[in-house]
Amino acid sequence: MLLQTAQYGTGQTPNYDSGPEPESNHPVDKELGTEDGDQLFPISSEQRAYVQKYVVKNYFYYYLFRFSAALGEEVFYITFLPFTHWNIDPYLSRRLILIWVLVMYIGQVAKDILKWPRPFSPPVVKLEKRMIAEFGMPSTHAMAATAISFTLLISTMDRYQYPFGLGLMMAVVFSTLVCLSRLYTGMHTVLDVLGGVLITAVLIVLTYPSWTLIDRLDSASPLFPVCVIVVPFFLCYNYPTSDYYSPTRADTTTILAAGAGVTIGFWINHFFQLESKPLDSRSVIQHIPPLTADVLVLGLIKFAVGIMLVLLVRQLVQKLSLQVLFSWFKVVTRNKEARRRLEIEVPYKFVTYTSVGICATTVVPMLHRFLGLL
């Protein structure tokens, strides 16, 4: 549990005791400032005057829910989803990514349309400063966790034979931990979390009948990759505007671009035969393959090779795309404010993460095959 030990409002002068300097809780102070500390956007005196300190009283809950919160962030997606594709089943990864992209886009857009504020601080203590600039309703952490866990459950029921009760329990525990972490970290209200879970449940129910049809569209037409690129880019470029900068648009672009890249990769894989075809719904694999030492070592090697290549591509494409855009718009290199401009942020992130998606689904499996890891 967290114990808040100091609060200051407008007009009050902080009188700090010994210890680390308290950090501002307002998003603009750190996320929206330049390297020199200059303000990019106006903020009120009330927002600037509030600071707080807290003491962790229960480290078990603290680390449990900080870890659970990480299960709904980029570090989890960029490891779990590729791992599923490379080591478990490309069929499952296709469905997971499809639902993840759909759910996250709707959740991110809903935030900037509804513009519901996050919980006020005080009384809560906010532990995630990067997310403070975003609005609260719905909780996209709760949406992603619910979508991934229950999509995985539904997609494996007719493909693998295992105790359904165990799978359901794991899905509930995973999504519940992520949902509770949003309350513990002070980033969402109960209503935000319940709204996210409910929206995701409705989306899964509505889209489930078309999962198989969408899954088979990868090789339907030569124009399919064009549509996959144009539509997501249009959605990113016409994202709802906000009164001040927040990472919501950038995160949404990252998600849609990754989904577009992965989908194009699946389309390419149809010609190279690098992935398994979806099984008929009546076909059931009797047993999940046992996790032996050889299988574990092979999986870790494949993951290490793949993730290093993905990160390398991400770094190279990001630098190259930024250099091109900075040169095109005559912007000073490494200008953080310029990177947040619509005409720079959306293209560089879209190109970067589309490349990452194609690399993860096509280039990495080809490398695995070349190295004899398949």
* Residues labelled as active-site residues: 141, 188
Nearest CA to 353 among 223, 233, 220? Answer: 233
Cis status of the peptide bond prior to 347, with omega within 30 of 0:
no
Amino acid at 317: V
Taking the C-alpha atoms of residue 369 and residue 354, their distance in angstroms, rounded to an integer, is 22
CA 62, CA 184: separation in Å to the nearest integer? Answer: 8
Query: What are the tokens at 152?
Result: 């995985």
Rounded Cα distance, 136 and 108, in Å = 10
Write out the two tokens for 229.
């690129």
Nearest to 322 by CA among 333, 312, 330: 333
Q: Are 85 and 358 in contact (CB under 8 A)?
A: no
Place of tokens 């401009």: 341
The single residue listed with the structure tokens 């927040």 is: 246
